[in-house]
A = this chain, B = another copy of it.
Amino acid sequence: MASSDLEIAPSAALRTQYRDIRQFSEMLCQTLQREDFVIQSMPDVSPTRWHLAHTTWFFETFLLKPNLPDYQSPNANFEYLFNSYYNTVGKQYPRSKRGLLSRPTVDEVFAYRREVDARMLEFLDSAAAGRISPPQNWVEIVELGLHHEQQHQELMLTDIKHVLSCNPLYPVFAARQDVPNATKAATPLSWTDHAQGVYEIGDATPGFAFDNERPRHRVLVERYGIARRLTTNGEIMEFIADGGYRRPEHWLSAGWATVQEQGWEAPLYWLERDGIWMQFTLSGLRPVETDEPVCHVSYYEADAYARWQGHRLPTEAEWEIIAVDSDDDRTAMAQGNFADSGHYHPLAASPSALSQRPKQLFGDVWEWTSSSYAAYPGYRPADGALGEYNGKFMCNQYVLRGGSCATPAGHVRATYRNFFPPDARWQFSGIRLARDV
């Protein structure tokens, strides 16, 4: 969100933004059956019910309870049930057991949302009008709550995809849409060329950004190039056909151990039927298309594929420099195939081969970088419970950039840092190659 909007009419803009984002969460549930909301198919996945309640708990905990003296939670147990990992707030119902809960029911969770929404709008109005005196940074906390909800919107999509994929009936979440100008032939791979230099990365705008995007700081980067499009399914099929998943020499040691333990033979959601690679999508089971970007690969697979190609993954600085470069106007929203398109699946790069700009930087799939997730120089997490948001996860994870087809439009920026452990595959994560020049 551009900060200028807030300066003009912060209350009205925030109100609208609050309502829109909260509604989008509920819109994503339209095709679900009651039974779908309950299931946790692995510890990393949370039930849809839980996402809807936890994002609500966030507003309740960090805004309503401290600032509206008469606020009463519908149920005192919600603090325990819907706290994710904020030790400062209190104990948490064990993460791996979220799928054991059927109550509060889906209807009760929606009622909880309505109750909190009503009080939040009251809070926004009262705070804007000066009738109450919340802490100085209350607007930032509201914005954080909204970006937090958007992050869980993406998780709602990735998690329900995992849930439905466990079912041999392969339920359809959303009917497949037509893609204009669809092509089956991937654009040939070409490369950018960037000069060495000391660049600045990270956020220094007055608008919203997560603490892990800050502070803006200098980085030294040597000359490099980056692939002008994402790696495709067809390219991964060549890797598979060359024995890529059976030859240890391409893999990190920990990656090879994972390949063997998990029996990986292809990206997640791929299965072979009568000699044809099929993949489970949010529109059901269908053949893998060679020109689409590969998706649901781990860092290990991304790294092994790049090594097999004789290339490498970009660092997050290399990615960010090019993403800012491709962006005429830093205040404009990143454009791409985001969740709002309703595809919920990455699209093939458009065939306009003449363009020199890298394609698919935003949306489609998160792009693994070679950068371990770490604090920027001078990084300081917030005080109190909100300081638990990002910093404590800076270990054994790798940075991904650019958002995906499950990311809500408007959520990501060139400076945005996503992060997952190197074996995670259930996110819409893919590959963009880089190389030394």
Contacts and interface: CB of A to CB of B under 8 A. Distances in A.
Contacts of A220: 198, 218-220
Contact of A100 (B33, B167, B222, B256): B167
A86 to B, nearest CB: 10
Copies of this chain, count: 4
Interface string A8-24: 00000000000000000
Contacts of A375: 370
Contact of A171 (B103, B217, B253): B103
Contacts of A33: 102-103, 105
A102 B198 CA distance: 53
Contacts of A386: none
A129 interface: no
A35 B249 contact: no
Contact of A253 (B80, B81, B85, B249): B85
Contacts of A88: 249
Minimum-distance CB pairs A-B, first 10: A372-B372, A35-B102, A34-B34, A220-B220, A87-B248, A100-B166, A253-B392, A36-B102, A396-B396, A252-B395
Interface of A: 33-39, 41, 49, 75, 77, 80-81, 85, 87-88, 93, 97, 99-106, 163-164, 166-169, 171, 198, 217-220, 222, 248-249, 251-256, 299-300, 370, 372, 374-375, 377-378, 392-396, 422, 436
Given A35-B37, A38-B102, A80-B168, 11 more contacts: A33-B102, A33-B103, A36-B102, A39-B101, A75-B169, A100-B166, A102-B171, A103-B169, A222-B378, A253-B393, A254-B396
